[in-house]
Structure 1
Amino acid sequence: MLVGEGTSCRLKADSPLVRALGGALTLFATILARKERVPLTEVADHLAIYAVVTGEAATDEGMILGCWAGMMRDAAEDEGRAAAD
């Protein structure tokens, strides 16, 4: 099974665990965004940069972080479409 089926992430790992943690991270980032503290896209962008840097030393960890960044980016895009409706 691949992590992130249905999202922008494709990674062989403990899929349920990675998706659960990514979802939790996205939830907290969404709460911060709704409180107008930090936009969700900004959190996703910073996490993506961190994923690239981490991936240089630890490929698997970088891929997981990248997956989470993708989950956040997807949530931000969904939120943007919902707000436009």
Structure 2
Amino acid sequence: MPERAKFYVISNDGKWIIQHLSKNIGTYKTQTEAMDDARKMAKRQHDEGHKAQVLVQGKDKQFRTEWTYGDDPTETLG
């Protein structure tokens, strides 16, 4: 099964960075700008036939999934 493309939106010294494949691919003044571009990048991956996901770093430094393109990876608990 192909790996899901993951785009991380990370806070760094008052700026926001998008990381993909452990590389910084964009720096932004606001979280909103970074999330908008990360969504566009993930959507483009999905349009090309790949699964993709945008994860955003919270104030607690933990990542939360904000957008998933393709099958949702969340397992159903039962």
| TM class, shorter-length | 0.3 to 0.5
Question: Relative contact order: is structure 1 or structure 2 higher (C-alpha 8 Å, sep ≥ 6)?
Answer: 1
